Amino acid sequence: MLVTGNDILIPARAGQYGVGSFNTNNMEITQAIIHTAERLRSPVMVQMSEGAIKYGGQDLANIVIDLARRATVPVALHLDHGSSYESALKAIKMGFTSVMIDASHHGFEDNVKETRRVVEAAHAMGISVESELGRLGGIEEHIVVDEKDAFLTDPEEAVQFIEQTGTDYLAIAIGTSHGAFKGKGRPYIDHARIEKIASLTSIPLVAHGSSGVPQEIVERFRAAGGQIGDAAGIADEDLQRATGFGIAKVNVDTDLRLASTVGIREALTANPKEFDPRKIFGPAREVMSQVIEHKMRVLGSVGKA
């Protein structure tokens, strides 16, 4: 069933588990996400960025909405990193049931103002809203506290922000960053900060940049002719711990990008004479499903629907 973000995330925060919010850009990614969720009885969020809307438009949104309506588990369609009020409203008109307004690059007051506008409009239509406070970006373990505080989310500010905006869930900067290169070895994640923010708030918290970049997938990518440097993601144990503290929405894009390319590369390398798209995109869908299953098990959402 197609539901709002709140329908999925409020129980997740209360139950101390995480729900994957996976980026989609085509039918195969969407099927992998929603069919895996059904197989594992897990709630799930499917998100489209503004780039995904540019690429797939209403056609892609309709694929997600149709699969979600027919799904036997709760599914929300979410706008990832909406850059303006207009963008959020456009997504709502397209049928999204959850939107993010990302005004985190503005100062506190302007972030509050822009977020509040979106919250007022979205709530009038029964749609829930994610906003962001703090700046995403990889940081090193040894960096001094003062420097960390400059861009990681300040707990007291988070309380003020939630009060002043009425946001339904809040993305916090805790050391993660987007992409396949989150730092060497085990990328830093500020557990103490999550715990502190969670202790002062009750709404679901969101972690962006949560791909694990599994080494097995990276090695298969290389073995099938792909080129990639020192790739690293968030360790499974770190993510699991974060969900125990109050991280309820866990954004994953990079892992599915890698998995789909591994499936395509392996199919093409193994069968140079193949040109049936189903024999190429089918394996991509299968590898993505495996990666999604792993993530849902780590987050603890399996069996919650």
DSSP collapsed to 3 states, 41-54: CCCEEEEEEHHHHH
Residues facing residue 130 across a β-bridge? 100, 169
| Neighbouring residues of 205: CB distance < 8 A, sequence distance ≥ 6 | 13, 169, 170, 171, 172, 194, 197, 198, 246, 247, 248, 249
* 269 in a labelled binding site: no
Q: How far is the CB of 68 from Zn ion (least distance, A)?
A: 21
Taking CB under 6 A as the rule, does residue 29 contact ligand G3H?
no
Q: Which stretch binds ligand G3H (CB under 6 A): 4-12, 44-52, 117-125, 240-248?
A: 44-52
Q: How far is the CB of 81 from Zn ion (least distance, A)?
A: 6
> Please, what is the angle between helix 236-245 and helix 277-299, to 10°?
50
Report the alpha-carbon distance of residue 225 to residue 234 in Å, rounded. 24
Q: Give whichever of 137 and 244 is closer to Zn ion, judged by the CB atom.
A: 137
Taking CB under 5 A as the rule, does residue 208 contact Zn ion?
yes
Selected catalytic residue, list 80, 168, 238, 255 = 80
* 178 in a labelled binding site: yes
Taking CB under 6 A as the rule, does residue 177 contact ligand G3H?
no
Q: How far is the CB of 277 from ligand 13P (least distance, A)?
A: 25
Report the alpha-carbon distance of residue 89 to residue 295 in Å, rounded. 31
Q: Is residue 190 flagged as an active site residue?
A: no
Q: Give whichever of 211 and 243 is closer to Zn ion, judged by the CB atom.
A: 211
Q: Give whichever of 78 and 193 is closer to ligand 13P, judged by the CB atom.
A: 78
Q: Give whichever of 80 and 114 is closer to Na ion, judged by the CB atom.
A: 80
> What residues numbered 53-112 form the site for Na ion, per CB under 5 A?
80, 100
> What residues numbered 49-108 form the site for ligand G3H, per CB under 6 A?
49, 51-52, 80-81
Report long-range pairs for 101-110 (Cβ below 8 Å, ≥24 apart): 101/129, 101/130, 101/131, 102/131, 102/132, 102/171, 103/131, 103/132, 104/131, 104/132, 104/133, 104/134, 104/135, 104/136, 104/171, 104/173, 105/135, 108/133, 108/157, 108/160, 108/161
Taking CB under 5 A as the rule, does residue 304 contact Zn ion?
no
Binding residues: 81, 102, 132, 178-179, 208-211, 251-254
Binding residues for Zn(2+): 81, 102, 132, 178, 208
Binding residues for dihydroxyacetone phosphate: 179, 209-211, 251-254
